[in-house]
Amino acid sequence: MSASCAAVCSATMIKSRVASSKSAASRPTGGRCAVAARASSNRGDLRSSSPADEAEAVRGRRAVLVDSAALLAAAAAFPAIADDETAPAPETAPAPPAPPAPPPKRAVAMSAPVSQPVMAYQFSYPSETSNGDAIKWATSRVRETYSSAEPMSPDARQRIVYELISFKGPLTGTVTVGPAPPKLAKVDPKDWKPRQVAEGVLADRATGRIATGQKVSLAEVESAKKESIDGTDYVYYEYISQGSPNLQEREATTFRHSLGVTAIRGDYLYTCTFSSPESFWDINADGFESAVRSFRLTPPNKKKYREPGNEGLLPPLPF
C-alpha cells in the first residue's frame, strides 16, 4: 500500500475514533457519575471505588492515548502526502541518438558503350573497382561475324566475338554467340526457365564430358532471373566455376565468380559475361553488375547486320 493510501486510512480511523469518544463522553452513564460523586466525597481513598469504575477509567485513558497517537501519525503523514502530490515526475533518461545512416554506395565509373553494328549488340564495362582503383582493360579479341569467331569448345557451337582482359586478377569480359544448347533446342523458348537457360549455356561452353558423351558444366549457378526489356528476354545469372592457379592464387584449387546475361534473338543466344577470381569479387561485383545490365541487343541495321550462321559471301557495308 502507498503512503497516500495509508494516510487516508489513518485520517478516517481518527475521525471515527474522535466521534465515538465524543458520543461516549456526552452520554450520562451511571458508572461515571458514581465515580465523580465518590471522588468528590473521598478523594484520598482510591480503594473506595469499585473495580468496574476503575476498568472504565482505564479504557477511557487508553482511548485517549490511541487517539493522540493516531493524530500524531496523521500529522506526520500529511506533509509527505503533499510532497508526493507536488513533487515533479522523475525525469527519464534521454534516448540514445540513432546511429548515422551508412554513406550512399559509390557509383562505379563505366566506359563508353562498345557497339558492334554487324552483330547488333552493345555494352559497357567498368573502368574502376568499387574502391576507386583503375582497371586497365585490354581488348584481346574482336570478331564481326559468327563464322569468323573462335570457338569455345571442340564442337564450335559457342564462339567468342568480343573479349576483354585485365591482367590484375585476371579479370575477363566476353561476348559469345551460339545456337540454343541441346537441353533447350527441343523446348519452346517461351517455356525456358531462367536457371535452365543459365545451366544450358554454361554446359554448352564446357569441355568436360561424361561416359555418354554429354557435356558437364563445372559451374554452379547461384541465382537466375528473367526480365523482358523492349520486347527481348534477358536472363541474368550469377555462378561460380572452378578456376586454375595464377600469380594471385597459387593453390591447386581456385574458384572464379561471374555474372552473366543471355539474350535471345531468333535461333541464337547472345551471352555477355564478366568474371574474376573469388578473392577479387567484392571490389568488382558492383562494376560487373552494371556491365551485364548495360548489355543490349540493338535494332539490326539492314546494311551492316549479319545474322549468325547466315552471313552471306559479301562483307558488311562500311556505311
Q: Report the SS3 class of residue 237.
A: strand
Q: Confidence band (pLDDT; 50, 70, 90) for 152?
A: confident
Among candidate residues 248, 216, 218, 229, the one with its CA nearest the CA of residue 292: 229
Tell me the per-residue pLDDT of 78-131, one tens digit each, with 9 for 90 and over.
Answer: 555 444 455 566 677 788 888 887 777 778 999 999 999 999 999 999 999 999
Q: Report the SS3 class of residue 223.
A: strand
| Rounded Cα distance, 238 and 198, in Å | 9
Tell me the per-residue pLDDT of 197-253, one tens digit each, with 9 for 90 and over.
Answer: 999 999 888 755 555 555 566 789 999 999 999 999 999 999 998 866 555 555 556
Phi-psi label, residue 213: left if phi above 0, alpha if psi -120 to 50, beta otherwise: left
| Rounded Cα distance, 242 and 259, in Å | 14
| Rounded Cα distance, 286 and 290, in Å | 6
Burial of 251 (0-12, 13-18, 19+ CB in 10 A): exposed
Please give the model's pTM, rounded to 2 decimal places: 0.65
Listed by start position, the domains of the chain span: 3-86, 114-297
Tell me the per-residue pLDDT of 239-295, one tens digit each, with 9 for 90 and over.
Answer: 998 866 555 555 556 789 999 999 999 889 999 999 999 999 999 999 999 999 999
| Rounded Cα distance, 306 and 135, in Å | 32
The residues, any chain, with a CB within 8 Å of residue 73's CB and separated by 6 or more, are 10
Burial code (b: 16+ CB inside 10 Å, e: under 16) for 171-193 equals: bbbbbbbbbbbebbeeeeeeebe
20 pLDDT higher than 60: no
Q: What is the DSSP string of 23-83?
A: HHHHS--HHHHHHHHHHHH-TT-GGGS-HHHHHHHHHHHHHHHHHHHHHHHHHHHHHHHHH
Tell me the one-letter amino acid at 57: A
Question: 114-297 has which fold?
Answer: Protein Transport Mog1p; Chain A (3.40.1000)
